[in-house]
Chain A
Amino acid sequence: MAKVEYDDVWRQFVGQERPAVAGLTLDIADGEFLVLLGPSGCGKTTALRMLAGLEHPDRGDIRIDGRSVVGLEPKDRDVALVFQSYALYPHMSARDNIRYPLRVRHLSTAEQDRRVARAAELLGIGHLLPRRPAQLSGGEQQRVALARAIVREPRVFLMDEPLSNLDAKLRTHTRTELKALQVELGVTTIFVTHDQAEAMTMADRIVVLDAGRLQQLGAPDDVYQHPANLFVAQFIGSPPMNVLPAERDGDTLVVAGGWRVPSPRLRDEKGALTVGLRPEAIALADDGHPGEVLVSEPLGSEVIVNVKLGDALVKLRTTPDVRPEPGAKVHLRADPAGVRVFDRESGVAVT
Chain B
Amino acid sequence: MTTLGPQAQAQVVIPPRTRALEGGSRLEWALMHLAFLVVTVFFLAPFVWLFTAALDAQAAPYIRWPSQPTFENFVRIFDRYAFATALGNSLFVAGSTMLLTVVVVSLAGYSLSRIELRQKAWITYAVLLLQTMPLSATMVPIYGLARELGLRNSYLGLILIHSAIELPFLIWLMKGFFDSVPRHLEEAAWLDGRTKLRALFEIVLPVARPGIAVAAGLSFLSAWAEVLMVLILIDQQSMKTVPLAFYETFRTAGGYTEVQYGLVAAMAVLYLLPVMAVFFATRRLMVRGLVATTRGL
Contact = CB atoms under 8 A, between A and B. Distances in A.
Interface of A: 14, 52-54, 73-75, 77, 79-81, 83, 85, 87, 89-91, 100-101, 104-105, 148, 152
B285 to A, nearest CB: 14
28 contacts: A52-B187, A53-B191, A54-B191, A74-B190, A74-B191, A75-B190, A75-B191, A75-B192, A75-B193, A80-B191, A80-B192, A81-B187, A81-B191, A83-B184, A83-B187, A83-B188, A85-B182, A87-B187, A89-B203, A90-B185, A90-B207, A91-B207, A100-B192, A101-B193, A104-B192, A105-B193, A152-B192, A152-B193
Contacts of A100: 189, 192
B238 interface: no
Prevailing SS type, chain B contact patch: helix
Interface residues on B, range: 10 to 19
A79 B188 CA distance: 11
B134 to A, nearest CB: 38
Prevailing SS type, chain A contact patch: loop
A91 B181 CA distance: 12
B195 interface: yes
B118 interface: yes
Interface string B180-215: 001011011111111100000001001100000000
User: Which 7 residue pairs spanning A and B have beta carbons closest together?
Assistant: A87-B184, A101-B192, A104-B193, A74-B190, A87-B188, A91-B206, A75-B193
Residue among B188, B189, B207 with most chain A CB within 10 A: B188
A53 B185 CA distance: 15
B195 A75 contact: yes
Nearest to A85: B184
A211 to B, nearest CB: 23
B118 A14 contact: yes
Contacts of B192: 75, 80, 100-101, 104, 148, 152
A80 B189 CA distance: 10
Given A87-B185, A89-B185, 6 more contacts: A14-B116, A75-B192, A75-B194, A89-B207, A148-B188, A148-B192
